[in-house]
Structure formats: structure tokens, C-alpha cells
Amino acid sequence: TDIEVWKRSDRYHNERLIGTPDASLVHAVESSAKGGLPNIAVSEAQAKFLQLLARTFKAKRILEVGTLGGYSTIWLARALPEDGELITLEISETHAEVARKNIAHAGLDSKVKVIVGPAVESLPKLEPSFDLAFIDADKQSNLEYFKEAKRLVREGGVIIVDNVVRYGRVSDPEQKDNATEGVRRLLDYIKDDKEVDATTLSTVGEKGYDGFLYALRL
Ligand code: SAM
């Protein structure tokens, strides 16, 4: 099946370009599973892409919406310099607890702050400026998160929104679930927005067929 091919392909590339994942990441995946967290973190290849992006433009402050067990958080925080900071927002106290432990296990607790609560309440309390924002929480609120990320990310910074393709469902008018509608509201908003320039990059891999939106803050 397609998914088996995509998994094989991810494995093939990851073996060559990522190699053995560091022990803290393996620990994060295992403890998240043990803690009963859903298996919805970004893939390894996507996580590394985020890290490379942060390294490419030497991000010093990173914002993440949707922490889960801290998998993408750890990958991103590894890109930060000594005095860098990552703020990650999570609604679930359970997820945040698992994430905090994983982040500490990775030796990143001095750089990472996990804030518990609905992101719509946490975001307005944050101060600019961030170099990079990664939005990966409840998809129906994508637009609210994106507007706040625009306020917080500096000119020339980047906002990434995950899961904007959803097996092509976003472009299928028959699909009316909340997550899909949330992505559509975001795209319709960006269409007329002069403060960002954006594109969607579709992806296939171990997580199926999806894609992320890459927006440059103007
Ligand atoms: N970024 C993580 C990774 O790749 O390792 C995965 C994040 S997971 C897809 C989405 C997370 O967003 C879940 O942990 C969920 O509890 C959290 N979430 C859902 N609704 C939220 C809200 N209103 N505010 C903050 N976080 C929320």
C-alpha cells in the first residue's frame, strides 16, 4: 500500500540523513507512549526540517503552539544558542507534565518554558519578538493562532502551520469537519493578507499525506 512505501522511503532517507536518533528523543517517544499520549507528533524527517530551518536563520526565540510530549520541542530547542528560548503552549496538564520531564531529560529545561492553558489565553500574554513560530495544536483555532503568531514574529521571521493538506481533504468541499474548516479559514485569511507571503508544501511519509504552510512575516 502507499503508506508502506512512504514509511519505507522515510526510513531510507532518515537512515542516511539523520542516523541514530539521540537518546533523549528516543526517551521522549517512549515516555509519551507510556504516558498514554496520542501518537501525533511530527515525523522525524519533519522535526529535523524544523530544526534545520531554525539553525539556518539562527533563531534565538521560538514559539510553539501544541507541545504534546515535547518531541518537536526538543528538536527545535536543540537549534537554539546558549541564551536562546523556546516557549511552548499546551492545554493538557498531563501532556505538559510528560513534556516537561522529556525536556529536562534532554537537558533543555533552562531554554524551554511549557505554559499550560488554552493557547488563545496564553498567546495574548506573550511579548514579541520571535524568529520562528510552529503552530500544531487544535486545527479549528488555526486562524486565531496565526494572527497572534503574526503579532509575535518579527519581520523576516517564519510561521509554520502543520497539517494543512489532510489527505487532500482541505480542497474537497464535501469535507466539513472542524479541523478541515479551521485550515480553510486560515487559507482564506492569508489570501488577502499583506503581512505574510506563504506557500503550502505537501508531504508524504510515515505520517501519511499531509503538508505544512510556510509563511514569511513581511
Ligand atoms: N508539536 C507536537 C509534536 O510534534 O511533538 C505535537 C502536538 S499535538 C499534534 C497537538 C497538541 O495540542 C496536543 O498535545 C493537544 O493537547 C494540544 N492542544 C489542543 N488544543 C489546544 C489548545 N486549545 N491550546 C493549547 N494546546 C492545545
pLDDT of residue 202: 97
Identify the band that residue 1 occupies on the pLDDT scale cut at 50, 70 and 90. confident
Q: pLDDT above 90 covers what percent of the chain?
A: 98
Q: Which atom of ligand 1 is nearest to the CA of 95?
A: 14
Q: Residues 193-218: pLDDT tens digits?
A: 999 999 999 999 999 999 999 999 99
pLDDT of residue 15: 97
Mean pLDDT, the chain, rounded, equals 98
How far away, in angstroms, is 53 Cα from ligand 1 center? 21
Q: Is the ipTM of this complex over 0.90?
A: yes
Whole-Å CA distances, 62 to 2, 67, 124, 149, 157:
34, 13, 16, 11, 10
Shortest-distance Cα residue to atom 14 of ligand 1: 68
Q: Architecture of 2-217 per CATH?
A: 3-Layer(aba) Sandwich (3.40)
How far away, in angstroms, is 69 Cα from ligand 1 center? 9
Q: pLDDT above 70 covers what percent of the chain?
A: 100
pLDDT of residue 207: 95
Q: Which atom of ligand 1 is nearest to the CA of 163?
A: 9
Identify the band that residue 107 occupies on the pLDDT scale cut at 50, 70 and 90. very high
DSSP assignments along 100-138, one per residue: HHHHHHTT-TTTEEEEES-HHHHGGG--S-EEEEEE-S-
pLDDT of residue 136: 98
DSSP 171: G
Residues with CB under 6 A from ligand 1: 40-42, 66-68, 71-72, 89-92, 95, 118-119, 136-138, 141
pLDDT of residue 21: 84
Task: Please report which helix (H) or strand (E) contains residue 98, including its range.
Answer: helix 93-105
Stretch 68-92: mean pLDDT? 98
> Is the pTM above the cut of 0.80?
yes
- Tell me whether strands 61-65 and 208-217 are parallel, antiparallel or unpaired: unpaired
How far away, in angstroms, is 126 Cα from ligand 1 center? 18
- The dihedral through the CA atoms of 138, 140, 142, 147 has a sign that is negative
Shortest-distance Cα residue to atom 18 of ligand 1: 137
Q: Which residues of 115-152 are buried (b: 16+ CB within 10 A; e: fewer)?
A: bbeebbebbeebeeebbbbbbbbbbebbbbbbebbbbb
* Mutation choice for ligand 1 from 48, 63, 67, CB with most ligand atoms inside 8 A: 67
Structure-block grid coordinates of residue 115:
505554559
How far away, in angstroms, is 136 Cα from ligand 1 center? 6
pLDDT of residue 35: 97
How far away, in angstroms, is 202 Cα from ligand 1 center? 21
How far away, in angstroms, is 33 Cα from ligand 1 center? 15
